[in-house]
Amino acid sequence: MTTRPEHPFRARARRLTAAAILATAGLTLPFAGPADAAVPVAANSWSTLMYRSLTVDAQIAQLRTTLAAQQTTFNTRVGEVTEAKIANGAAQARLAAATSAETTATAQLTTAVAAATAAKQNLAKASKAKPRNAAAVTSATGAVTAAVKTVNLRKAAVERASGVLKQARTGAQSATTALNAALAAWKTVSGAITVTQQRITAVPAAADLAGQAAKLSKDVVNQVRPAFTTADTAQVYGVTVHKSVAYAFKRMVDDAKADGIAISGGGFRTKQRQIELRTINGCPDVWTAPASSCRVPTAIPGRSLHEIGMAIDITSDGKTLTPKSTAFAWLKVHAAQYGFVNLPAEAWHWSITGG
């Protein structure tokens, strides 16, 4: 079964996203992230700056994804606030109407009670009148009966109005609570959007970070060389390099591959091997002759960046690079973003200082 090869740009984007997600979680890919704390300060700083530089795009992409999700949530919250305001307005209107109705019903009850009291007083007068007027008593009795009936009706109306008012108050309180909750949720996501936007703005440009790393490169060499041991190295696709440059070199190899360029090469070599190469390459004197005096330029033992894993003699498809190599053309355009600089006299030689 065959599978369609992944598009180079998609592959690169996938690696960047994975690196950013792992970085956010405090994890790293092999060689990803700053070198160990035991590494000299300058080397650790260089490694950190290059890692940040090479993951900036993924970091921004992740932040923009977060921002898009927050903006979607924001729009939802705006809708919820709008609905809550409408509901609260309706609830407050019902409360006002219920309050008015209850006030009216209470006033009508008061009037009815007063009328019933007056009717009872009239009945008492009619009953005590001399001579007794039966018709007047009957009329007064009827008036009392009607007044009492009205009072009872008004009491029932007040009870109904009070019940409606109680419900309206509960509804208004619930609507106000819901509105406050909607406003709080809206405020929260609005604040989160501001923070994310600030984080996006605060992310430095990859070129700036790589530039800062480049300024440290000589300090890196000066600090690493005195205490260097082979324990400070790491393997990247079979190439031994100093672990502080391992992630950057791995990314360069991966990204070149994504662009159809295969690069490998030789990195670290011992001082003894450097001595051997000086002899093999016909240097007039192993210890004093300048590199340019050799048939193949070869640094004086103790001065080569290969001896601390900070230089790589790059090959492509097993062949040494020349100025006409496709891989050399790719490196001239891209290598600096990974922290590597070419030694002009040697198309194949790339290091963090260019030496």
Query: Is the N-terminal amide bond of 131 cis, ω within 30° of 0?
Result: yes
pLDDT one-digit tens code per residue, 22-57: 333 333 333 445 555 467 999 999 999 999 999 999
Predicted confidence (pLDDT) at residue 10 exceeds the cutoff of 80: no
CB 305 within 8 A of CB 351: yes
Could you give the C-alpha distances from 233 to 27, 182, 251, 302, in angstroms and in order?
A: 21, 56, 17, 17
pLDDT one-digit tens code per residue, 88-133: 999 999 999 999 999 999 999 999 999 999 999 999 999 999 998 9
Over the chain, what is the mean pLDDT?
A: 90
Predicted confidence (pLDDT) at residue 165 exceeds the cutoff of 80: yes
pLDDT one-digit tens code per residue, 254-281: 999 999 999 999 999 999 999 999 999 9
In this structure, the strands spanning 346-351 and 341-343 are antiparallel
Q: Return the pLDDT at 88.
A: 97
Q: Return the pLDDT at 6.
A: 42
Average pLDDT, stretch 293-320?
95
CB 236 within 8 A of CB 250: yes
Q: Return the pLDDT at 239.
A: 98
Q: Return the pLDDT at 39.
A: 76
pTM of the model: 0.66
Q: Which domains does the chain have, with CATH numbers?
A: 8-45+210-351 (3.30.1380.10), 67-202 (1.10.287.620)
Phi, psi of 253 (to 5 degrees): -65, -45
pLDDT one-digit tens code per residue, 123-133: 999 999 999 89
Predicted confidence (pLDDT) at residue 21 exceeds the cutoff of 50: no
